[in-house]
Structure 1
Amino acid sequence: MLSFRSLADIEAQRPRLPPRIARCLTAVMDGLLKAYEEYDPEDDGYVAAVTPETTNADAVELMGTPWINARWEGVSYDKENRCFISCVLFNNQFGISFVIDDAPWLSKLHPDFRDRLVYEMGGEDAK
């Protein structure tokens, strides 16, 4: 899992990211920057990419629970970039926005993880 607290962070990691994931991360970060007059990632949250290297230990460290049990807020799907987008809110201000690559490796996090994300979108399959 990779974390990003600015557009510069995304640019610095761009060589390691598939172009579609980088595009999605940039769009989500742009949204955060527009939502806050003075964006401070330590107070307001940041963006994280759930990548093939991501494990359930990452989720437990961040949220205290595996990915399948996370309290997702407003899951959506970016069809162009084939990513789920959601966030987990920790209080009224701080949250982590997640860009989750829609790829077969998601099942390593939990066999039903993709199905859970689709369920959170209202049951309409993203594809």
Structure 2
Amino acid sequence: MRKQIIESAALEVATQIRTVEDCIEDALIEIAELQSKMLRARSAAGVGTATGHVALEQLANAVQALVTARGGMANCHSELRDAKQFVPGLRTVSFGDGDECPPKVAQADLRIVA
């Protein structure tokens, strides 16, 4: 019973890490689109490059912060993968076809069979 609880908790953590990683990448995609739209809007309006430049710099700072967060999540993921060897019952557990992480879209119908 305890092993099942540990495995379930580990799967929840691994699935949530994947979700957070995906959210950060989605935010980076959205910011890249926003940057493009801002530059196109400035060009379409025919105003000087100084117009809106501070906003573009702030957006670039946000991109850098998200890239840093993405790296932090990758490091967190790696540390947790390494830490599993110290948790009884997780040393030999893996999910899927040889992957160390659960699939990108985890299935809700997983059951533990004795």
TM range (shorter): under 0.3
Q: Which has the larger radius of gyration?
A: 2
TM-score where L is the length of structure 2: 0.24
User: Which structure has greater strand proportion?
Assistant: 1
User: Which structure has greater helix proportion?
Assistant: 2
Structure scoring higher RCO (CA < 8 A, sep ≥ 6) equals 2
